[in-house]
Each structure stands twice: as C-alpha cells, then as structure tokens.
Amino acid sequence: MTGKVQRVGQAIAIAGVATLLGLLIWKVAFDNEQGAADKLAKGELVHAPAFSLDRLDRNGTLSLAALKGKPLVVNFWASWCGPCKDEAPVLQQTYERYRKQGLVVLGVDVKDFREDARRFMRRYGVTYPVVYDGKGSTIGRWGIQGYPETFFVDRTGKLVGERIAGSVDIERNREAFERGIALALGDQS
C-alpha cells in the first residue's frame, strides 16, 4: 500500500515538473509574437493591426477597417506625454495640408483620462479623428514602446516608411516624416 502511495506521489511530482517544463518550452518556442513595428523595422511587409475604438472627437466608434483605401498617419499619444504637446501642431498642420489628397491623421490616445485627452485636443486645436485606448489594447500588436510614436499606412492598409519614435517633424526625423507621408499617399519618388 505504502509503495503504491509513494509511486503515485512520485508520478504526480514528475507530471508537475513535466507540465512546467512544457509551459516553459512553449513560451520560448511559440510565444514570441512581434509587434508590427518590429516587423516593419526588419523590412517585412506588414498590415496595420486592426482596431475598433471609441472616438474622442465625436460620439461613436472608429475602426481601422472603415478607413481602408485612405492613406493614414497613425499617431499614438497621451495628454501626459511632453513630446506629444510639441508635435500636436505639426500633426494638425499635416492633416490640413494633405486632407484634400485623402490623407487622414488618426490619433490613438493611450492610457489616458478621456477628459484630459479632450482638454488636450481643445488646447492644441486638434480636429483630426482621435480614438481612445485607455486599456492600451493596441500597444502589443503595434509594438509601441513609448509615446509618441507615429506610423504611416498606405491605401492598401500596409505599413510603409519607418516608425517614428518621439515627436515628429523635428530635425532628426523630418525627412522620415515627409517620406512616410509620400509613401502613404502612393508617391514612390
């Protein structure tokens, strides 16, 4: 009887260790999903990860699918982020300048208070569409590492150009910003 109990105990212990080992192997081997930003940096063709979020600029929701066919500048920001204040006027000017060509600047307000975000939008005169992602549900799939970050999406829904980490249109990334807009609009030159 005691031998049997001992054997059952050993079997349970071995099964427990084997399960933990299996989970570790699975984690290392398969749970290495990369965000879109990482794939883009490697030169892979990657579609903009889909989302559907509540709007801050008006009532209702807005999904990325609803903007299919339009070139996009997708900007992840938050009202508590200092550099986001610096770039807000530039993004607004970009929206106004390229709007007639179909370009949409889309703001994604992340991990923020809704009211703070709305106050920010009023203060900086933001009129382009802004959606609210308080939970940060987009962060992992897009590969966001900090705020602000900006991506360019062409009319087919693919990410183009390079991800801009930090404020846009300052000296160090003006060229990348303008090239991203050109690629999103379909200007290959």
The residues in 49-108 that bind other proteins, with binding defined as CB under 8 A, are 78, 80-82
CA distance linking residue 28 with residue 23, whole number of Å: 9
The residues in 125-184 that bind other proteins, with binding defined as CB under 8 A, are 134-137
**Which residue shows structure tokens 């579609």?**
47
Is the Cβ of residue 21 or residue 45 nearer to other proteins in the bound state? 21
Residue closest to 77 by CA, chosen among 16, 165, 14: 165
The radius of gyration of the chain's CA atoms, rounded to the nearest angstrom, is 22
Shortest CB 135 distance to other proteins, Å: 3
Q: At 72, give phi and psi (nearest 5°).
A: -130, 150
CA distance linking residue 136 with residue 9, whole number of Å: 44
Shortest CB 85 distance to other proteins, Å: 12
Residue closest to 53 by CA, chosen among 142, 123, 119: 142
DSSP state of 50: P
Candidates 70, 111, 141, 155; binder of other proteins (CB under 8 A) is 111
Is the Cβ of residue 6 or residue 101 nearer to other proteins in the bound state? 6
Is the Cβ of residue 62 or residue 139 nearer to other proteins in the bound state? 139
Is the Cβ of residue 2 or residue 59 nearer to other proteins in the bound state? 2
Residues contacting other proteins: total by CB under 8 A: 19
Is the Cβ of residue 107 or residue 161 nearer to other proteins in the bound state? 107
Assess 114 for contact with other proteins (CB under 8 A). yes
61-69, 109-117, 169-177, 180-188 -> range binding other proteins (CB under 8 A): 109-117
Query: Using omega within 30 degrees of 0 as the cis cutoff, is the peptide bond preceding 148 cis?
Result: yes
Q: At 76, give phi and psi (nearest 5°).
A: -95, 125
* Interface ranges with other proteins (CB under 8 A): 1-2, 5-6, 9, 12, 78, 80-82, 111-114, 116, 134-137
